[in-house]
Chain A
């Protein structure tokens, strides 16, 4: 892969450069559209679909059957209880699992019998249970509390480390972007939110900030090494840093996405819905969003925020003046 190494060299020396910081309006626009879609479409669709772990309900499982048609199972249930919102999934390869909203005991018994006769299996092959949420309100509340404390503390730590609150603010904005888009993905495609998905979501929290910190560290280094006589504007320095870390960003996201993709592939195609698919889907979307937001949102936004500062205005003005002079003379 000499060409990729060459690509890295060119990015490092500046022979090849992508004007990421300069085209910030495009990226802001894309981000705004994506975030709007991630918020509006799930609302129009009626919010997230939470798994039985969050809501509780009734569950029926027909084992040892050969008929795995999903509409068939759901029709059987809705004939007995029309408003039960049955959701059917195939488990393993010979069982049909039907989860419904909470049903009365009589309805449960009726459904149990209806399923047994519809699938032509003995009633004992159809189990019915009545379950509450295993992921209670308390887990959600504590997780959210943890989230808020974490974001606040991480913002302080980053502000101290980078010695500017602007980097910290931008990193948090990028984080929110990733979280909204990942969550929106579940809402838009109507994928069930399960505890595994939430855990994947929390992993993204760490990954997104991690990725931003790595790139910001390079930006901080590049911009702080610029002397008073630097021939680059502040925005160009930020852009150079982003370009120089581009190979790192590509390599890291590919390396991170390979195992996740493997889990997603195995989880979704070989096993059907389940923990593996739920956790890897959140990660897959989140890693892509995280890498994108670091390069295309965090870096331009940071340069944008700093561009209003007096010292930087002065420096950019001087740099531009030198260039003007050299072009005209």
Chain B
């Protein structure tokens, strides 16, 4: 038997499916072999437990404890930061009146903890004084202050009221002395990260080579509307390989930034410099070469790709209103017992068996194809879940498991839509092979349209939502795509092939595709009675009369209509569409 085109196409589709499954398996296998990934999907907090990190706020001496509003804000920001690093289904809430509890599945690394706990408070301050910091290698500071001198308190309020943040009047004798005594290894202890924004600040750069006196905050991090990371390009537009964080200010920040750069541009020496302070440390202090009016400065420093991404994420979601430190880090057990997962899987199994029984009842042998398709869908879904949990930190929660079980129904619907279309074509008197092709043309349109709607829901929720909803969106999107892949690359090609088997092609009673059972009546030599005409006639009680009295033109039109109904959905009469 020569292979006809549909069979060739079918085999090609099946080959593609095999390539996809083999590819996914190979990637996972490689990950297991070389990257310590696992064949089992990672489980979420509710099923596997994880690590509970209790963060307590760091407040400046004498400052009041953080308000509940600030804590809520901190929870929201931490959640966004965690979400930006992957879908982990973390749980973040407040505990007591002070602490924030972050529960993360698995054991987080230091980078994850840094991402969570650092406040990421960005400030722009003008430089007033800078000098090389004594390094520990130099030994004892040369100018040891005489104890007697510090007995008399030095004036700590400016003698003249400073006119702007760059005014040297900020540098009072007391501040100057403090600056002289300041050692860069004491930056963290000095509480520079919780400094008063309205006062000058003494701090160091992040390599501790220079120490600075900075003016009050000119532009605060809250005015940042967006931040991205990217490579620095030189004047020719070529990449220099250095990483930077690009900031976009909002209108207020843009205006403030323009004013400051205008003033600093006119100044000389160190006072021309602008310090970018992150959590109390200067990450860079560039000189002001031009007035920046577009509100889009670029921060360079000693960034790597990962550190620039982290900072950009932190700046984008805003600084934490309060700084935190890790109070405790404990392993917690699963909130749901393993019995919950087992019951869930049992429920899934029962559901699946019921679906199989119903399919067999409804579609006879064809129901087996539904079962096989569901198995293929399950295999692909499993491989993708494992892959996502390795690459994206995706974790399966009990809600996720329930979502996947529910997807059985939605996936099976594609087969039902398809099979019903084929039956419709058989009822119209087509032989099976062409009924499969015609039915497919119509069914795939419907399946693509309805899956598009589902996928749209998933994609938008994935982009917009945070927390648990994000994980759900990923599950929904995943099952929608798997549905489409399976119906196009497995169910249809398989049906194309089995439609040639005599069992189906001749419409065996148990094939589920028996034309006689479907109401198509054989009239001899591949001609069936045309049931569409009959359908119209029986529709209304009066139409039998109508049919009798049909004019030739009307009868022709009715015939045309029925042909149109059985060839393809591309009807030239698009009046109503």
Contacts and interface: CB of A to CB of B under 8 A. Distances in A.
- Give the interface size bracket for A toward B: 35 or more
Residue of B92, B361, B450, B569 with most partner-chain A CB within 10 A: B450
B424 A244 contact: yes
Nearest to B512: A5
B336 interface: yes
B72 A137 contact: yes
Interface string A132-151: 11111111001101110110
B476 A206 contact: yes
A203 B403 contact: yes
Interface string B564-577: 11000101011111
B558 A231 contact: yes
B468 A139 contact: yes
A323 B540 contact: yes
B553 A14 contact: no
Interface in A95-154: 129-139, 142-143, 145-147, 149-150, 153-154
A221 B461 contact: no
A322 B546 contact: yes
Interface string B125-153: 00000000000000000000000000000
B457 A150 contact: yes
A129 B335 CA distance: 14
B271 to A, nearest CB: 41
A145 B470 CA distance: 13
Interface string B446-466: 100111111011101101111
Nearest to B75: A136
A326 B549 contact: yes
A304 to B, nearest CB: 15
Interface stretch (A62-70, A71-79, A184-192, A276-284): A276-284
Given A205-B457, A224-B573, A270-B343, A199 B468 contact: yes
A267 B460 CA distance: 30
A205 B441 CA distance: 27
B417 interface: yes
Q: Is the interface of B mostly helix, strand, loop or mixed?
A: helix
A257 B417 CA distance: 16
Interface in A267-306: 267, 270-271, 274-276, 279-280, 283, 287
Interface string A254-276: 11111111110111001100111
A250 to B, nearest CB: 10
Contacts of A251: 358, 362, 416, 420
B517 A260 contact: no
A129 to B, nearest CB: 8
B417 A248 contact: yes
A326 B541 CA distance: 12
A225 B456 contact: no
A224 B423 contact: no
B399 A146 contact: no
B575 A206 contact: no
Interface string A194-205: 011011101101
Contact of A196 (B76, B399, B554, B569): B399
A255 B343 contact: no
